[in-house]
Amino acid sequence: MTAELSNAEDGRILWQDTFEQDARDVFRMQELLVQAIAGQLQLRLGNTSLSAGTSNPEAYEQYLRGMQVSRNRGPVFADADRYFDAAIRADSSFARAWAGKAIALMASPFYLARHMREVLPTARVAAARALALDPLNPDAHLAQAAIRFELYEWAAAEKEVRRARRLVRQAEFPPRARRHQRRTLRPRSGGGR
Same domain, 99 and 37: no
Task: Count other Cβ atoms within 10 Å, centred on residue 70.
Answer: 24
The pair phi, psi for residue 155, each rounded to 5°, is: -65, -40
Same domain, 18 and 110: no
Same domain, 125 and 173: yes
Q: Is the pTM of this model over 0.85?
A: no
Decide if 12 is inside a domain: yes
Same domain, 63 and 153: yes
- Coil, helix or strand at residue 101: helix
CB 73 within 8 A of CB 150: no
Cα dihedral 76/80/82/84 (nearest 10): 170
CATH number of the domain to which 71 belongs: 1.25.40.10
> Can you tell me the distance from the alpha carbon of 145 to that of 44, in angstroms, rounded to the nearest whole number?
28
Same domain, 65 and 35: no
Decide if 133 is inside a domain: yes
Parent domain of 100: 57-185
pLDDT for 112-168, tens place per residue? 888 999 999 999 999 999 999 999 899 999 999 999 999 999 999 999 998 888 887
Same domain, 16 and 64: no
Same domain, 26 and 120: no
* 5, β-bridge pairs: 15
The pLDDT of residue 186: 56
Same domain, 61 and 41: no
> Can you tell me the distance from the alpha carbon of 96 to that of 186, in angstroms, rounded to the nearest whole number?
24
Decide if 126 is inside a domain: yes
The pLDDT of residue 50: 44
Same domain, 96 and 150: yes
Closest CA to 117 of 159, 147, 144, 158: 147
- Number of compact structural domains in the chain: 2
> Can you tell me the distance from the alpha carbon of 76 to that of 69, in angstroms, rounded to the nearest whole number?
7
Decide if 6 is inside a domain: yes
Average of pLDDT values for 95-120? 93
Q: Which residue has the higher pLDDT, 24 or 185?
A: 24
What confidence tier does 49 reach under pLDDT thresholds 50, 70, 90? very low
- Please check the confidence at residue 102 and state whether its pLDDT lies above 90: yes
Decide if 191 is inside a domain: no
Q: Which residue has the higher pLDDT, 101 or 8?
A: 101
pLDDT for 26-43, tens place per residue? 776 776 666 666 666 544
Helix H, strand E, coil C: the string for 152-181 is CCHHHHHHHHHHHHHHHCCCCCCHHHHHHH
Closest CA to 100 of 173, 180, 174: 180
> Can you tell me the distance from the alpha carbon of 3 to that of 136, in angstroms, rounded to the nearest whole number?
24
The pLDDT of residue 41: 56
Decide if 68 is inside a domain: yes
Same domain, 83 and 8: no
Decide if 193 is inside a domain: no
Same domain, 142 and 99: yes
Q: Return all residues near 41 (Cβ < 8 A) that are at least 6 apart.
A: 5
Q: Poorest-confidence range of 96-100, 133-137, 169-173?
A: 169-173
Decide if 118 is inside a domain: yes
Same domain, 130 and 78: yes
The pLDDT of residue 112: 87
